[in-house]
Amino acid sequence: MNGKVALVTGGSRGIGAATAVRLAREGADVALTYVSGKEGAEDVVRAVEALGRRGLALRADSADPEEAGGAVQHAVEALGGLDILVNNVGVGLLAPLESLSLADVDRVLAVNVRGVFLASQAAASRMERGGRIITVGTCMTQRVPGPGGTLYATSKSALIGLTKALARELGDRGITANIVHPGPIDTDMNPADGPYAPGQAAMTALGRFGAAGEVASVVTYLAGAEAAYITGAEFAVDGGYAA
């Protein structure tokens, strides 16, 4: 990926941070967005730069329509172009159906759907042939094991349709679009030693949580030259959660 430029939304921690560093290790310059995790974002930038690549942290709230697309433009201006977009940012709200307010619905759909759409739209208008759009979904689009996931599963399921439509719309330009569905992954938001972890691990075929790097490795493969004939596809990195 030498000479490539990537933007990872929500790249200050977890899967986003692991993906940003992995892309840099493969030779890409990497911009990432954050909302409140400035310190974490700066740590990721330092890790990118330690690998000899350019790094850039951009504060952008994907719930804001101007900032969702504007982050793409800022990355292009600062790094000279854009070859890879990783739509990683998301809001993971799990709650009983009757407790969800209109504000909850608007916030989750704004970040998880509209923000991803606008970032993809902005990126597609700036990508040259061979561009890559990779979106992070969730295993809950394949299997919802219990109550509380209606809003989150709805929002992430919309990204499957978006991905397939992008693949069709951008295919003649050699731009691919794919979606990766993580299962239970050990992150700050869902630690492998958390109170709900044993039950989640038991739902997987492998009986364990995954690591952020295991998701990042698949995202990085899809961003590379060897994945040029893969588009409109879904990839489960879930330890057999949906098996």
Length of the chain: 243
How far is 196 from 112, CA to CA, in rounded Å? 23
Say whether 32 sits in a helix, a strand or coil.
strand
Take residue 76 and report the two structure tokens written for it: 């292009």
**Cβ–Cβ < 8 Å for 3, 82:** no
Smallest CA-to-CA distance from 23 within 64, 92, 70, 79 is with 79
Of 34, 152, 196, 241, the active-site residue reads: 152
Q: Which residue type does 91 have? A: V
Give catalytic status of residue 229 as yes or no. no
Radius of gyration of the CA atoms of the chain, in A: 17
Active centre residues (catalytic): 152
